[in-house]
Structure 1
């Protein structure tokens, strides 16, 4: 009787699968049992070959060799992880292996990870697919009872290959063309270019914005105030004389209540989290980057097994999950969530359309807690924060709506209309789960504030104590932060000028990139120094602004990539041909190269330092990374870089602000970032405090490190936090 080979995406998931499948003979690169052999990739083990692999001439970057359009794309084993690939290949080809179960992440990229390995290994054995949304033992067992035939995911694989090949054909050609034409490291791509274009356009809008003065008129009564509005209910007056005439007309006069409207209102809880919404909230509340949130989420899904699959774009659950809600609620009935979870469990769970909708779930449902009880003692503070958000949202959709009475009072003061607004809360409903800071209410009209209003009737006289004129100024649009940039990538039609039909396409196709790739795209823009951070705000660098001038118009448009995503989706559903899509990508690439070749614009390095590269003698460029300043060689082929300064997590022993490390080698020093603190110390001296002499057992060191890292997170004034942050703890 032959065995079944299970291929996971990562070692940690492989170990979990092996445990459930009762395979316990650990052979290093795989774990073997009586029936199953479990092995794993380390992310991608196989990728598309670099241009150099097709032809010697591509080793030199030059315009003459562009566009690069291989007839058939070849796969190559990635050098970094080749050892694991050959181990997996050996297993795939083993005579006693009769069947392969793909158990990589249940999504487009996960499919690609496994299929490319199988293809490169040249194996033609029957394939089954494990498709699960959580990593609990129960979910894994259920998944293995319901394995799907591999053929069901053939089109998903085709779509994944098309995505990878399109990014190669368009991205590598455009990047080489721009780099060769302008002799600068310039990168372009179907998602990164339109994303950068939105950031650059926003900066232009801010630069060209001319603020306008406006006035509001405020009438103060004994216990509340009223605001003047015109016949369109607008309180802003853009003419000073008109504003003064209203003040003169109403000053010293009393008011009369013309109307009172009391409207009972219900506000339902926001929908469950998909990845983008979770990344947005984590950025707004704690300033986490999109990449950071995804990796915290991944740990809660894979290691702690308390949340479901992170890379989802759905904010609903399907009908088949409803039966598991009770078990999930029981699992989270701990600590601060116990009373609310118990309250929901005591009644009948109302699985309403607000969170249960099969038509709004494609590959994966929204992120929700699993049936596994959390051991929150083992969570880092970041993990606790993200877990907390998901649990609160999960509880809130099962609670009644927030109910209040909206009261609007309109009064007449000598022929002019003034209004006041107030809210009386009837029932907090789902809002009991949240503290005020956690909830992002939709932005209200700043000029008319909500207040507590007295009990009044129509026809009542109001004693007006004073009439005041307030001056304000219109504000430019806000710069993006990581949270709002994710919103713009998800719904670019709200941020760029496109016609109705294009806006409809963008709306239907889910915008720029996918939930799984957006965080990487933002990181890529930071790492190629086309954007930088000022506080929480994202601003384009000079390089970014110039790059957008040089990138052909169509590649900058979010419409192009949205159309591509919609076609990739059609390919994954078997509604469109993969070959015709790739053919079009090649034609597009040819047009793109022509457009770049024919452009006469110039690129200017305006961030040159006075320092020359020690390798090639060209002037170094000063660039700002996410965590500090670096000097990099302007010559792409040289690639020399050095740190100038980097913000660390180490805390100043005097004022507890973060320390910056500056300089190289012996001249390296730690300097406090606090405005009024002069602490500075040689790195050798500073690091000596934490030096450990003598050899210690590796496992013991790992345990000490983990313990210290945990303590450092719980007490972030501890200077160990920084030093430990840079040490890799081996995954045993």
Structure 2
């Protein structure tokens, strides 16, 4: 008898098969003496569309809402149906004694496998492989410690509850909005509050009034002294008259040094990466989108096997990983990391609670290098960037702290305090890992040596000046700051209740580390928000949507409460049906509110360009990286890309250029005014020896066209395609 192993993806399946000595390829699976390894392609099974429950749901009509299935049905996804048949065949083989789930170790990974088993009506015992990396060593260790599948039943129930709750809220709210306002409008418990945060930030910026503030500084012997308020310890005031009076009082006066202190300070490395923190840094440093970073991380995890599981929300390691740290250091001792890692390998590994804590690790630990030896030449340029971030952060936490001596001089002038601060660097510590660039930009690495001034010294000829500034509005969101807000949306809660704040902190805010990138992409593809440079702004369509959706769907509270209850289900402290009863009642309320609403929706992006298929006027929409003309009639579905942001850099200002037009007439344009025909661009790049020829450009154009033809609203594209407006 043999065990059937079900992995989440082919690449992981092949890795497991190699370790288990399975070498016989059969259609969609690999067989050995003791095991058969097969895989999903992500999800092979999903929740059925509404029409599966009743033929009438093929038509989108308000009177049919809400749609509330008594029992949710599973369907095989058409695009991966052949692989499902393969897995099902293997499940029901007579020589298969049990099933080993080897999908990603987490809530969604559990759902991928369990839905397959449920749809295939599996009756065989189930065991679980639970690992955080897919190196040969990790797989071998995992198979030595397989878990009973029943231990993860509650996790599965939580995953099902999440999927079913999102179905009834999303499907019903989307159909209700679309039918009510005759426009393709979608909403959901995560995407809508996220959109609302962007709108709220724009409103904060719009309504912000700058307020001037003032300070007072003095210069003496190359040293700057700054006035400090004795009550608040602040250095500025909003009262100009106060500073002017102070200036008049101290001008031309002498000062007496009343205090000189010296303190040695230690600064420890920033913590290890979880996915969200890595996505933030990659966006700040390389302008990678959250989705791009996740895709690169997935490749480094699955294909190169040099980094651990990416979809983690922990920045800590468990104690049982500590024994492997030296081996991981040896594996990264190549290229620019050889010397840095070598220093640590020669000494005992020193850990502390800032990055090793069993209590702060749930499903997966922080992202760190694996024990797999690295060949940097096999990585792409972008993969090297992400790998470098993770490796340097890993090295940094193992290095000693950055140490400096802070010297503070307090000077009394007319009974007012003035402070001067100096800094003497003692030990670079973890900053050696980052060479010339500091990872922690809040710390100034430069030493500032103060003059040899001691207590009771009298200072004369001090030159004073008033400083001025204005308060600044909050910055518009970019992907990095939006990820931060999704992770901690407390600022955007309407009710600052302690319980909700605690829940959002415990559950990780809006979405999960695994879904935030997709939520951001969905909002772009739905034309609810757009990019201007690096900044993100809500579109007119997005603003109108927020005016039309029920209030509850616009705040993070719903998600906070749902995630708290999902967590309780996963630990066995709440029954799934209790949550579903609540979500059913909530959905009824949402639909009723939309039905009775007196709001209106208008297309204010209508153009005079007529659709070549049906003749109706087209809408101008801005996607994440392109501008399109889309037919207002969804049944027609015609659209064309008229401009898109390319990866080609302007030779004048080096910013990304836009690409307009069709065929050979296409022109690269830049905001600085530079223009260049596609043919001229191709020739120039060829002469520059960049290795980009006509074929490369053609392939790039094909890729851009493919992206332009992606679903306008990918979450509900299939459903909307059936809608007749």
Question: TM-score higher than 0.5 here?
Answer: yes
Asked whether the 8 Å contact 1:649–1:725 carries over to 2, the reply is no
| Alpha-carbon distance, 1:678 to partner | 2.9
Partner of 2:714: none
Asked whether the 8 Å contact 2:403–2:425 carries over to 1, the reply is yes
| Alpha-carbon distance, 1:42 to partner | 0.8
Asked whether the 8 Å contact 1:421–1:450 carries over to 2, the reply is no
Return the match for 1:469 from 455, 466, 473.
Answer: 466
| Alpha-carbon distance, 1:674 to partner | 5.8
Quote the Cα distance in structure 2 between the aligned partners of 1:125 and 1:687. Answer: 59
| Alpha-carbon distance, 1:235 to partner | 2.1
Quote the Cα distance in structure 1 between the aligned partners of 2:564 and 2:190. Answer: 14
Partner of 1:562: 560
Asked whether the 8 Å contact 2:492–2:556 carries over to 1, the reply is no
Partner of 1:679, secondary structure, is strand
Partner of 1:235, secondary structure, is coil
Structure 2 unpaired stretches of 5+: 704-725
- The 5 Å alignment of 1:430-469 reads 430-435=430-435, 437-442=437-442, 451-469=448-466
| Alpha-carbon distance, 1:509 to partner | 2.3
| Alpha-carbon distance, 1:593 to partner | 0.8
Quote the Cα distance in structure 2 between the aligned partners of 1:250 and 1:85. Answer: 82
Structure 1 range deviating more: 498-507 or 469-478:
498-507
Partner of 2:68: 69
Quote the Cα distance in structure 2 between the aligned partners of 1:147 and 1:244. Answer: 74
Partner of 2:323, secondary structure, is helix
Superposed CA deviations along residues 374-399 of structure 1, whole A, max 9, x for unmatched, are: 11100111111111111111111122
Partner of 2:672: 675
Partner of 2:675, secondary structure, is coil
Superposed CA deviations along residues 168-194 of structure 1, whole A, max 9, x for unmatched, are: 011111111112111222111111111
Asked whether the 8 Å contact 2:217–2:225 carries over to 1, the reply is yes
Matched, 1:487 2:480: no
Partner of 2:377: 377
Q: Is the alpha carbon distance of 1:26 and 1:219 closer, same or farther for their aligned partners in structure 2, counting shifts above 3 Å? A: same
Asked whether the 8 Å contact 1:659–1:670 carries over to 2, the reply is no
Q: Is the alpha carbon distance of 1:17 and 1:119 closer, same or farther for their aligned partners in structure 2, counting shifts above 3 Å? A: same
Asked whether the 8 Å contact 2:228–2:417 carries over to 1, the reply is yes
| Alpha-carbon distance, 1:515 to partner | 0.8
Asked whether the 8 Å contact 1:222–1:463 carries over to 2, the reply is no
Superposed CA deviations along residues 428-470 of structure 1, whole A, max 9, x for unmatched, are: 21121114545134499xxxx9944223212222234422222
Q: Is the alpha carbon distance of 1:62 and 1:500 closer, same or farther for their aligned partners in structure 2, counting shifts above 3 Å? A: same
Asked whether the 8 Å contact 2:332–2:338 carries over to 1, the reply is yes
| Alpha-carbon distance, 1:43 to partner | 0.8
Partner of 1:271, secondary structure, is coil
Structure 1 range deviating more: 264-273 or 243-252:
243-252
Partner of 1:179: 178
Partner of 1:190: 189
Superposed CA deviations along residues 213-247 of structure 1, whole A, max 9, x for unmatched, are: 22222211121111223232222232333332222
Q: Is the alpha carbon distance of 1:421 and 1:596 closer, same or farther for their aligned partners in structure 2, counting shifts above 3 Å? A: farther
Matched, 1:31 2:13: no
Quote the Cα distance in structure 2 between the aligned partners of 1:585 and 1:311. Answer: 27
- The 5 Å alignment of 1:241-390 reads 241-390=241-390
Matched, 1:599 2:602: no
Q: How many residues align?
A: 699
| Alpha-carbon distance, 1:505 to partner | 2.5
| Alpha-carbon distance, 1:657 to partner | 6.0
Partner of 1:109: 108
Matched, 1:18 2:10: no
Asked whether the 8 Å contact 1:285–1:438 carries over to 2, the reply is no
Partner of 2:153, secondary structure, is helix
Matched, 1:133 2:138: no
Partner of 2:722: none
Asked whether the 8 Å contact 1:213–1:472 carries over to 2, the reply is yes
Asked whether the 8 Å contact 1:255–1:461 carries over to 2, the reply is yes
Quote the Cα distance in structure 2 between the aligned partners of 1:451 and 1:490. Answer: 37
| Alpha-carbon distance, 1:541 to partner | 1.1
Quote the Cα distance in structure 1 between the aligned partners of 2:174 and 2:314. Answer: 33
Matched, 1:630 2:641: no
Asked whether the 8 Å contact 1:134–1:370 carries over to 2, the reply is yes
Asked whether the 8 Å contact 2:524–2:624 carries over to 1, the reply is yes
Superposed CA deviations along residues 540-596 of structure 1, whole A, max 9, x for unmatched, are: 111112212222111111121011111111111111101111111111100111111
Quote the Cα distance in structure 2 between the aligned partners of 1:350 and 1:688. Answer: 56
Superposed CA deviations along residues 250-309 of structure 1, whole A, max 9, x for unmatched, are: 223332222223222222222211111111111111111111111111111110001111
Q: Is the alpha carbon distance of 1:183 and 1:716 closer, same or farther for their aligned partners in structure 2, counting shifts above 3 Å? A: farther
Quote the Cα distance in structure 2 between the aligned partners of 1:487 and 1:366. Answer: 17
Quote the Cα distance in structure 1 between the aligned partners of 2:449 and 2:700. Answer: 49
Asked whether the 8 Å contact 1:651–1:719 carries over to 2, the reply is no
Asked whether the 8 Å contact 1:169–1:586 carries over to 2, the reply is yes
| Alpha-carbon distance, 1:315 to partner | 0.9
Structure 1 range deviating more: 70-79 or 335-344:
335-344
Asked whether the 8 Å contact 1:615–1:638 carries over to 2, the reply is yes
Asked whether the 8 Å contact 1:185–1:634 carries over to 2, the reply is no
Quote the Cα distance in structure 1 between the aligned partners of 2:653 and 2:341. Answer: 43
Quote the Cα distance in structure 2 between the aligned partners of 1:420 and 1:654. Answer: 44
Quote the Cα distance in structure 2 between the aligned partners of 1:229 and 1:720. Answer: 65
Structure 1 range deviating more: 173-182 or 289-298:
173-182
- The 5 Å alignment of 1:73-92 reads 73-92=72-91
| Alpha-carbon distance, 1:660 to partner | 3.1
- The 5 Å alignment of 1:611-626 reads 611-626=609-624
Q: Is the alpha carbon distance of 1:198 and 1:436 closer, same or farther for their aligned partners in structure 2, counting shifts above 3 Å? A: farther
Matched, 1:498 2:495: yes
Matched, 1:9 2:20: no
Partner of 2:393: 393
Return the match for 2:522 from 517, 520, 524.
Answer: 524
Structure 1 range deviating more: 323-332 or 651-660:
651-660
| Alpha-carbon distance, 1:614 to partner | 3.2
Partner of 1:339, secondary structure, is helix
Quote the Cα distance in structure 1 between the aligned partners of 2:205 and 2:614. Answer: 40
Partner of 1:478: 475
Quote the Cα distance in structure 1 between the aligned partners of 2:434 and 2:641. Answer: 43
Quote the Cα distance in structure 2 between the aligned partners of 1:652 and 1:476. Answer: 31
Quote the Cα distance in structure 2 between the aligned partners of 1:591 and 1:463. Answer: 74
Matched, 1:543 2:549: no
Partner of 1:263, secondary structure, is strand
Quote the Cα distance in structure 2 between the aligned partners of 1:464 and 1:66. Answer: 81
| Alpha-carbon distance, 1:677 to partner | 2.4
Q: Is the alpha carbon distance of 1:479 and 1:717 closer, same or farther for their aligned partners in structure 2, counting shifts above 3 Å? A: farther
Superposed CA deviations along residues 141-172 of structure 1, whole A, max 9, x for unmatched, are: 11112111111111111111111111101111
Asked whether the 8 Å contact 1:268–1:402 carries over to 2, the reply is yes
Return the match for 1:577 from 575, 578, 582.
Answer: 575
Partner of 1:408: 408
Structure 1 unpaired stretches of 5+: 691-707
| Alpha-carbon distance, 1:716 to partner | 8.8
Partner of 1:589: 587
Quote the Cα distance in structure 2 between the aligned partners of 1:366 and 1:623. Answer: 39
Quote the Cα distance in structure 2 between the aligned partners of 1:658 and 1:8. Answer: 39
Partner of 2:324, secondary structure, is helix
Quote the Cα distance in structure 2 between the aligned partners of 1:189 and 1:329. Answer: 44
